[in-house]
Amino acid sequence: MIPSVRWFPSGLQNRAAWFQNFSEKFSDVATSLGFSAADVTAVEQDNQVMQFLAQIIVQLDTYDDAIRKYLAIITEGDPGSATPMFPANLDFVLPLILATGIYARIINLVERIKLAKGYTDETGALLGILPTATGSVSPGSVKPSIKAFAAVEDYEASVVVSGREKADQWQVEILREGATEWETIKIATGKSVDIKITPTAQGKPERVQIRVQLIKNNKKYGQPSDPTYVTLNP
């Protein structure tokens, strides 16, 4: 069971951002709409787990990249070269145990909110539950998800993007260590693209953050993706 696309975004990271906003704003208006402290707590707990899971997915993607890098070096590296360190195991601890049905609970709560005395469109906009055109997603809430895989050599990587919605292009941006400005490396269409950077220090591996900004009609569309770290090899 998934909430209506008329007010609920697609993609885990977008949904986690929606839950964060809903939880914060619901705690502000719950009493005026006739809801109890228990209702607020239930939303906060659901949101806590949503944020935890969204964060884990990003960490897993980064860990996946590290494993692939290890695999490439240990299998394709030259004999006698340095042996890579295997990535440290991830350690996740679920913040709390919840009953199944986060989405079902939010669907029920939204229905109750819309029937509450004192509910207005302003409240709906604040909570992010105002319906949009069927099947559409608010442009401001669009946030793609990415995976990046470093090549074995030549400072190259592959970037895979999901959740592009109505974007007609997207640009790959990198942030070098110690830098404050994101650099646009390549503009692409479709689901994936290969990129290559000019290293800061030739002949040495370079660790960068990679993110994607969607583009529609030659203008930025939605929010940048969450960044992911990649170490590019000479």
Question: Can you give the pTM of this predicted structure?
Answer: 0.60
Q: How confident is the model over 65-76, as a mean pLDDT?
A: 88
Confidence at residue 133, expressed as pLDDT on a 0 to 100 scale: 56
pLDDT digits (tens, 9 = 90+) for 139-182: 667 888 899 998 888 999 999 998 888 899 999 999 999 888 99
Q: What is the DSSP string of 161-227?
A: EE--TT-SEEEEEEEETT--S-EEEEEE-SSEEEEE---SSTTS-EEEEEEEEEEETTEE-SPPPPP
Q: How confident is the model over 5-28, as a mean pLDDT?
A: 91
Q: Is residue 115 helix, strand or coil?
A: helix
Confidence at residue 14, expressed as pLDDT on a 0 to 100 scale: 85
Confidence at residue 190, expressed as pLDDT on a 0 to 100 scale: 86
Strand partners, 97: none
